[in-house]
Amino acid sequence: MGIIRISGEKAFPAAEKIFRPARPKNWQGESHRLHYGHVVDFSTGKVIDEVLLTVMKSPYTYTRENVVEINCHGGIVPLRETMRLVLAAGARLADPGEFTKRAFINGRIDLTQAESVIDIIRSKTEASLKVALSQLEGGLSARITFLQDNILGILAQLEAAIDFPEDDVDIESYREVQKKALEIVKELDLLIDAAVKGKIYREGIRTVITGRPNVGKSSLLNALLGRERAIVTCIPGTTRDVIEETINIRGIPLVLADTAGLRETSDLVEKIGVEKTREFLAGADLMLFVVDAHEGITLEDREILQTLPGEKTILIINKTDLAERTGVIREENIPSVEISALKGEGIELLEDKIEEIITGGGIVTPESIIISNVRHEEILIRARGHMAEFCSSLEENIPLDLMSIDIRNSWEALGEITGSTVTENLLDRIFSDFCIGK
């Protein structure tokens, strides 16, 4: 089983060459129809496979071009053979992402939507997928377009003042412009914040499991891994030459750094020393600090604990299944969870805690926009920079036409997110909204 998709002007002629419908009929007649038949080798007349052919006519297709999909019923050999015939009949192999690229070029989707298709394919967890899907629906585009419209409003007011300098720009409209501009900066700040959160889903939370030897770090790791069916991927570390492993906790990808090393030596602290540990931990987003319930928090534990940033640390009291406990097992200001890694008890509570700390009370709500794309984040920061520049030049005595450059730049930057065109669009908008020539 497999589907071969052909798109473009030559899609129908290519399919014509290799497809023999079961009942002689004009399969190209109606759009969005399925036709039963066979793929036949046009040079030998040999039947290759039994297929269903889907016919979709431009413009109501994914690419807005004519599209034919051949649903092959045989195994991998007939599928390959059909592919060979399709190529021989005049098609060529699509580049990666080419169907989506064409959908964008032909105006069916905008850039954010095209990019979300890639994110969907790459999403690490279901939550990442949800983020990508909401982007596909156009939530981000709508926000950006709304912001752009507001920026144009300001620009139009400025342009009017530049074109008709004899009409003094009154203080009221000046205040109005300032207020609008500040609101836009605020909105951009929110979106940039959303991008920071989006990073969680794109890159995952860098997590370190630490603690003295034999407290149960490896066992905890195994318990976490064992619970989650999805060990998502093994990627080479980006900053250091280590293997990182991603596990999925409630949809949040946790990137466990150096777990291979951890498992081998079973002891990060001993291996590299407290001083080095501190350095290593500085780059982490989440610390799981394991102690032994049986032994309580020892002096050494406390020493390590003091080097860990409290807001990112969870104290894990392991081996609660061992009957007697000694020592103190509470620490001020650090959330703690009691578990038995060996018996798999308390792991769910730990997951609750992790989720709580990372999401700060739930970041993925259906309405919330999350920016998971680095390109978008970079553009938002740039657009915000221009707007902030404009706001501060409002305070100074800067010529209007110079100020309008910042506004324009901000508008254009945002357009790079959706891929909207630039100058013509801009002029059209200004003239349709304001009757300057009146």
Binding ligand GDP (rule: CB under 6 A), the pick from 112, 318, 372, 373 is: 318
> In this complex, which beta carbon is closest to ligand GDP, that of residue 321 or of residue 351?
321
User: First-to-last CA distance in the chain?
Assistant: 66
Distance CA 137, CA 201 (A): 18
Query: Considering only residues 161-180, where is the footprint of ligand GDP by CB under 6 A?
Result: none
Judged by CB under 6 A, does residue 266 bind ligand GDP?
Answer: yes
Judged by CB under 6 A, does residue 384 bind ligand GDP?
Answer: no
Binding ligand GDP (rule: CB under 6 A), the pick from 322, 328, 398, 436 is: 322
The structure tokens listed for 404 are 């309008």
Distance CA 409, CA 155 (A): 11
Identify the bridge partners of residue 187 per DSSP, sorted by sequence position: none
Judged by CB under 6 A, does residue 372 bind ligand GDP?
Answer: no
Q: Which stretch binds ligand GDP (CB under 6 A): 146-154, 234-242, 305-313, 336-344?
A: 336-344
Q: CB of 337: closest distance to ligand GDP in angstroms?
A: 12
Query: Considering only residues 210-249, where is the footprint of ligand GDP by CB under 6 A?
Result: 211, 213-219
Judged by CB under 6 A, does residue 319 bind ligand GDP?
Answer: yes
Binding ligand GDP (rule: CB under 6 A), the pick from 123, 134, 259, 340 is: 340
What is the side-by-side order of every strand in the sheet holding 2-7?
A: 2-7, 67-72, 47-56, 33-40, 19-21
Contact by Cβ (8 Å): 270, 301: no
Binding ligand GDP (rule: CB under 6 A), the pick from 187, 203, 321, 355 is: 321
Q: Which stretch binds ligand GDP (CB under 6 A): 19-27, 84-92, 314-322, 373-381?
A: 314-322
Judged by CB under 6 A, does residue 120 bind ligand GDP?
Answer: no
Residue whose C-alpha is closest to residue 341's, from 326, 321, 315: 321
The structure tokens listed for 332 are 């001020």
Q: CB of 342: closest distance to ligand GDP in angstroms?
A: 3
Q: Which stretch binds ligand GDP (CB under 6 A): 54-62, 143-151, 298-306, 319-327?
A: 319-327
Distance CA 208, CA 285 (A): 8
CB atoms within 10 A of CB 83: 16
Distance CA 8, CA 291 (A): 63
For the residues of 368-380, what is the DSSP string, one character each? ------HHHHHHH
Residue whose C-alpha is closest to residue 210's, from 118, 141, 309: 309
The structure tokens listed for 86 are 């399709």
> In this complex, which beta carbon is closest to ligand GDP, that of residue 27 or of residue 289?
289
Q: CB of 302: closest distance to ligand GDP in angstroms?
A: 17
> In this complex, which beta carbon is closest to ligand GDP, that of residue 341 or of residue 383?
341
Where along the sequence are the contacts to ligand GDP (CB under 6 A)? Answer: 211, 213-219, 266-267, 318-319, 321-322, 340-342
